[in-house]
Amino acid sequence: MSELTDMLEELGAGRDEFDPEYVGFDPRPVAVIIMELEDHQKRYAAWLNRGECEFLPGELVIPASNSNYRKSKRPHIVVESRSVPEPYFTGGNGVEPANGHRLDMRVAKTMRDNSIVLYWVQSFDFEIYAGPFE
């Protein structure tokens, strides 16, 4: 086997998604997963029906616990919002998580080196930051 083949196998390429060793395997009961997916769909539909970003510049937000941004557990500040989301397409194979995002909010956050970065997100993936503030 080549080094690349070994690396892909290690990462889970070609594995069945129900294999507990697969990197994307969700070990929770299927009923719990279905409930969460249905709740997610309802929130998404409400967001689409609202038709505009619910957050205003200056508000503190944090990624929702099940969003693509969830690893960033620090507050962000909204610096800009769009009334009409702009679809984002990566042009790749279409399965990247960001492909098809409807970008309607620009946020700023701090990084480890104390720099501040700004980037566009879909507000659906965020909620109001409620603290702590110390």
What global pTM score does this model have? 0.70
- The sign of the torsion formed by the CA atoms of 12, 14, 16, 17 equals positive
Beta strands 116-121 and 101-110: pairing type? antiparallel
> For the segment 69-103, what is each residue's pLDDT rounded down to a tens digit?
777 778 999 999 988 888 777 776 666 666 778 88
More reliable by pLDDT, 47 or 115: 115
Please state, rounded to an integer, the average pLDDT across all residues of the chain.
80
Question: Where exactly are the structural domains of the chain?
Answer: 3-42, 52-128
CB 92 within 8 Å of CB 100: no
pLDDT tens digits, one per residue of 101-131: 888 999 999 998 999 999 999 998 899 999 8
d(C-alpha 20, C-alpha 16), whole Å: 9
Dihedral sign for Cα 63, 125, 104, 127, please: negative
Burial of 61 (0-12, 13-18, 19+ CB in 10 A): buried
pLDDT number for residue 58: 97
